[in-house]
Amino acid sequence: MNSRIREIWNMWKNRDLEDCDLVRELKEIENDEEGIIDRFYKDLEFGTGGLRGIIGVGNNRMNIYTVAKVSQGYADYLSRTSTSQSIAIAYDSRINSEVFARTAAEVFAANGIKVYIYKELMPTPALSFAIRYLGCSGGVVITASHNPSKYNGYKVYGADGCQITTDVAKDILEYINRVDIFLDIKKRSFTDALIEGSISFIEEEVIDKYIAAVSSESLSNVELNENVSIVYTPLNGAGRYCVTRVLRENGYKNIVIVKEQEFPDGSFPTCPYPNPEISDAMKLGIDYAIRTESELVLATDPDCDRVGIAVKNGPDYKLLTGNETGMLLLDYICKQRNMLGTMPNHPVAFKSIVTIDMAIKIAEYYGVEMQEVLTGFKFIGEQIGYLEEKGEKERFIFGFEESYGYLSGTYVRDKDGVNASLLICEMFAYYKEQGKTLLEVLNSLYAQFGYCLNSQRCYQFEGVEGLKKMNMIMQSLREERLAEIAGRRVLAVKDYKKSIIKYQDNTEEVIYLPKSNVLKFILEGNSSIVVRPSGTEPKMKAYFSVSAETQKKAEALRRQMEEECDDFFMII
């Protein structure tokens, strides 16, 4: 153990900590050098996603002290231009989420920043809405999205209701780095601040306005059949109240909620990995659907900004990917807007660079401009903001990313699981009225636009050595000039960190997007691979986009791509 880590470890050990769980953990790791190093070798990384990490003791963990330090830095950043600042705070069902939310509120209040905080857990998009509705200078939501229960996080939002982007995160980080985690924190008792008015609970009116805004995005012109049956699970997270309310207010009465996953529980007892992208998270919901003969299963992640679905497929149920659901929604929205006469002039939609390319063809068919942005819904929110600045926000009709994030309105600047749940249910009801299933509609899109398959691979890299290995992999991929992958020639490499496209003939072209540590390999035959380290988790992701004459050929090519990636990542 180096002297710097030992110094920080001793500082925490000799401090009279407020949280008895942290005191106990310090004692438990006293003779565990590896455990000490992992908790104290660096500060928990702050970036465009804010903080995300394992709950526990140390500067590389989520606890009341790391939360207070980041809140103090953010408060100093907000106060640099004006003393008249305000902030909105929300939290989900995770372990210590409410504690962390109140800790942040105490710091902001002590720094003269007016705090508006939800009384109970609320979806992340409700936080984005509250910031804009209340005219706040920024916002914070305590959540680790879909991570396992040992994680929590701290997402930071700007006055536009959008997650902060790279430049803002760097500016805030400068202020955070000036803060001593124990000596420089200002705090005001939550109760005292509530009494004196520097902290206020967000009124029910704001929630009502949010629900009304979601409902205004409905495109349904079908009188709902009471037999439209839906199973919904909030996965023990924050979605239950808003999702069920917006569905019932829009005519969906036949909703069955998964009892074991209905109420908040940060330990996620029946769903250790509460991510609607994976089948285990959907299993209980599908079991309920089989028993109740329901035709559609919805699952929102713990902070309810993403939604996954399963649809009846004969005697079984099929999970749809984020790409498949996104393409169905894009097609439905375009079709309905044309039918209702609400398609704007020069309509525009957005998708991330790793989202299925077939969406571009669907958009073109309806005369919609499809623009690509970097991975992260904040970049879609940013583009909506640019449209608003030009007085053109009505042009926006839809934004989505492959990781189950969707948005059809401009009332928030983040993906919205409540909005998506409503649209999915009405799309399902619309096609049911015509005697079609969502799978039949999806297959008709493939027949019209050609078969395309997207998938992703995640590679875990824990601790100090894991971070080094991720950096080595990205460096090697940049230096190696791969000629082919899975038997397909590499036509070009898009390096978003260097903002250039390198072609095989050694010519280059500038990329006009924010810099990001991402590489995209463009292969012949309209296929590609995107590789990027996660900004919030100790892992790398590889995204595979495959086009082929048939599904069978596409799946074979995808497997070959995945195997070559596995081999490469293991060798480095």
pLDDT in tens, 71-122: 999 999 999 977 789 999 999 999 999 999 999 999 999 999 999 999 999 9
Q: How far apart are CA 171 and CA 74, in angstroms?
A: 9
Active-site residue (options: 71, 97, 128, 145) = 145
- From 400, 344, 392, select the one nearest 372 (Cα to Cα): 400
Strands (E), 470-551: 484-485, 488-495, 500-503, 508-510, 519-523, 527-533, 539-547
Q: Is 294 a catalytic residue?
A: no
Q: For residue 125, what are the CA distances in angstroms to 139, 163, 393, 396, 416?
A: 11, 11, 18, 18, 5
Strand partners, 373: 352
Q: What is the pLDDT, as a whole number, of residue 572? A: 57
pLDDT in tens, 384-426: 999 999 999 999 999 999 999 999 999 999 999 999 999 999 9
Q: How far apart are CA 563 and CA 556, in angstroms?
A: 11
Phi, psi of 224 (to 5 degrees): -65, 140
Q: What is the pLDDT, as a whole number, of residue 535? A: 63
Q: For residue 180, what are the CA distances in angstroms to 23, 68, 111?
A: 20, 10, 16
Q: Tell the residue number behind the tokens 């990995």, with chain if given.
A: 273
Q: What is the pLDDT, as a whole number, of residue 365? A: 97
* Element (DSSP H or E) covering residue 21: helix 20-28
pLDDT per residue of the chain (572 residues) written in tens, 0 to 9: 788 998 999 999 999 999 999 999 999 999 999 999 999 999 999 987 899 999 999 999 999 999 999 999 999 999 997 778 999 999 999 999 999 999 999 999 999 999 999 999 999 999 999 999 999 999 999 999 989 999 999 999 999 999 998 889 999 999 999 999 999 999 999 999 999 999 999 999 999 999 999 999 999 876 666 668 999 999 999 999 999 999 999 999 899 999 999 999 999 999 989 999 999 999 999 999 999 999 999 999 999 999 999 999 988 999 999 999 999 999 999 999 999 999 999 999 999 998 998 898 999 999 999 998 998 899 999 999 999 999 999 999 999 999 999 999 999 999 999 999 999 999 999 999 999 999 999 999 988 888 888 888 889 887 777 888 888 899 999 988 889 999 999 999 999 999 999 998 889 999 888 888 999 999 998 788 999 887 666 789 899 988 887 888 889 999 999 999 888 887 65
Residue type, 208: D
Q: What is the pLDDT, as a whole number, of residue 225? A: 60
Q: What is the pLDDT, as a whole number, of residue 302? A: 97
Q: How far apart are CA 358 and CA 327, in angstroms?
A: 8
- From 369, 370, 372, select the one nearest 511 (Cα to Cα): 372
Q: What is the pLDDT, as a whole number, of residue 31? A: 92
Pairing of strands 488-495, 500-503: antiparallel
The full set of domains in the chain, from first to last, is 42-202 (3.40.120.10), 226-449 (3.40.120.10), 452-571 (3.30.310.50)
- Extract the tokens encoding 570: 């293991």
pTM for the model: 0.90
Buried b (16+ CB within 10 A) or exposed e, 122-134: bbbbbbbbbbbbb
Q: How far apart are CA 270 and CA 272, in angstroms?
A: 6
- From 204, 103, 210, 98, select the one nearest 143 (Cα to Cα): 98
